[in-house]
Structure 1
């Protein structure tokens, strides 16, 4: 493990692996081999990217696609949007259920700024982009990264979850920012930020899909090694009804994915607050498995020094 070059006192409580280059190459190769094909990932036009970022703030990405395409068909450039009637822009926003209407107003004003103050050319750095109306640090950095390959590391909820689980970065905004920037290779913010957000959005989700989607960081990931997938945005004790039925279903679903698992590994994968000796631990899990055995769905057998659960074939 190695500490950041900027941590001269050597007192940082967390570290990243020594082989950062291998980590970077693995993630970029995974992303470039296969990723969700959103249309704004196929452009470096800062206006088109800004529209996608503003629309995505309150709307699921799959729903944004149609709205984004229709918006750009109606107002294909900043000049077109700047000349539009603001009521029409807000009306479009409302009719497509894109969240707070003030975002539409700010986007319209930002287009007018680009045309009136920047001669139709977008500023290219995160700091300069924040001069545009309604553009905060996150959006400015995203546009700088995806349009100009000139951003810092993006630190959203997905990236925080990845850093927390994979490298044990503490739940602290400054620590997440340090880790994300240290992980990012120089001069590659466009592909890197897309890739690490894709990792959090597809593989390192609240319920992780590590093996299912071939997470490229499994060999370095602390959560994958321990089976403990706790994260800042993952509740330690979700509220639900019929909890026993819910976790019976999780057991069956997990064993379908992994075929067989040692009991403690299974416990961690179906419940983030699983502790072998705790309230929701080995005894609780064995009770679920006993019920499933009675139903003819699973078997539990002794393995090499550990009991193993598997689906009954």
Structure 2
């Protein structure tokens, strides 16, 4: 498995294995209510769904250094770094960070400016995350004698650790967290089991699916599924998705998701027209606006629907992107590619 365009972590608004799990006899019916009148189409044989995913993950998954440790400090660093950042981009800064400050004690005594500086050097975004990590390390040392809390509730007492991060660290470090629901997991649940785009629905279905006592493997596995097989561009067959036989999207061919809206038609779109403007300027050089318009659209008419006002809008977009410049010469707009 190679493709990985996903980032990890909670939605940007969060600051920061199983909780209660059903027994076999409580397994889900073919359809389970998830709040109000909404329903998720979950298979009756949930054990087979669980087993298929775990087997798929354990057979082959991407290797990341934080998956090779149960150290809660190292895992917390990885979780904070990977929020809205592609996992492959986290490896180098994570190694540098944990080599420079290998323990909570080392981080707690570090100069905060150095911590933020490393964060900035690697373009990890939101420097307050580095500050929160530093403060959380200080809390671990001063309030917990250097030992990390081992429950989601205890972990949430640390600075910057919200419910998502707490469940992730509790799962991956102590195998005792709840379901971890990030954007990738929501996409998987929405597509596979037609879960409504409602936070409570995703949380409930994720908790229902989570096998008791296996939060470490399960949460890694379902996030891996979202990152490798069920990304914004699905790779169901190529990645051997283990849920194809149950998946609503695979059966219907509708792969929309909360973060994957229906793509607008390219033909005739502004995106296509902007491309034509650039191509025309590249081929013909600087051009008066009406000459350019006729090269972009055969139905160009200076005062028509696709006329000067429409074309100036495209040129304005391209100027904002730093691709084109326009000048007024003799009362006429002239466009050229920016050099």
In 1, Cα distance between the equivalents of 2:30 and 2:130? Answer: 40
The Cα of 1:59 is off from its aligned counterpart by: 2.0
In 2, Cα distance between the equivalents of 1:170 and 1:49? Answer: 31
Residues paired across the two proteins, number: 246
TM-score after normalising by structure 1: 0.74
Matched-pair contact (CA < 8 Å) for 1:27–1:217: yes
Matched-pair contact (CA < 8 Å) for 1:2–1:15: no
- Select the residue among 40, 43, 48 that pairs with 1:22: 48
SS in 2 for 1:236: coil
1:178 paired to 2:204: yes
TM-score after normalising by structure 2: 0.68
1:113 paired to 2:147: no
**What does the per-residue CA deviation read over 1:38-89, in whole Å, with 9 as the maximum and x for residues that have no partner?**
1101111000000000111132111110000011110000010001111111
The Cα of 1:15 is off from its aligned counterpart by: 3.8
Structure 2 residue runs of 5 or longer lacking an equivalent are 1-26, 273-339
- Select the residue among 90, 113, 118 that pairs with 1:64: 90
Matched-pair contact (CA < 8 Å) for 1:107–1:133: yes
Cα distance, 1:226–1:134 mapped onto 2, change above 3 Å: same
Matched-pair contact (CA < 8 Å) for 2:29–2:42: yes
Q: CA RMSD in A?
A: 2.6
- Select the residue among 150, 155, 164 that pairs with 1:129: 155
SS in 2 for 1:155: coil
Higher relative contact order (CA 8 A, sep 6+): 2
- Select the residue among 135, 139, 143 that pairs with 2:165: 139
The structure having more radius of gyration, on CA atoms, is: 2
1:168 paired to 2:194: yes
In 2, Cα distance between the equivalents of 1:59 and 1:2? Answer: 35
Structure 1 residue runs of 5 or longer lacking an equivalent are 247-313
1:288-307 correspondence runs (5 A): none
Matched-pair contact (CA < 8 Å) for 1:3–1:12: no
Cα distance, 1:93–1:23 mapped onto 2, change above 3 Å: same
The Cα of 1:12 is off from its aligned counterpart by: 5.5
**What does the per-residue CA deviation read over 1:232-257, in whole Å, with 9 as the maximum and x for residues that have no partner?**
110223486776x99xxxxxxxxxxx
Matched-pair contact (CA < 8 Å) for 1:150–1:189: yes
Matched-pair contact (CA < 8 Å) for 1:153–1:181: yes
SS in 2 for 1:139: helix
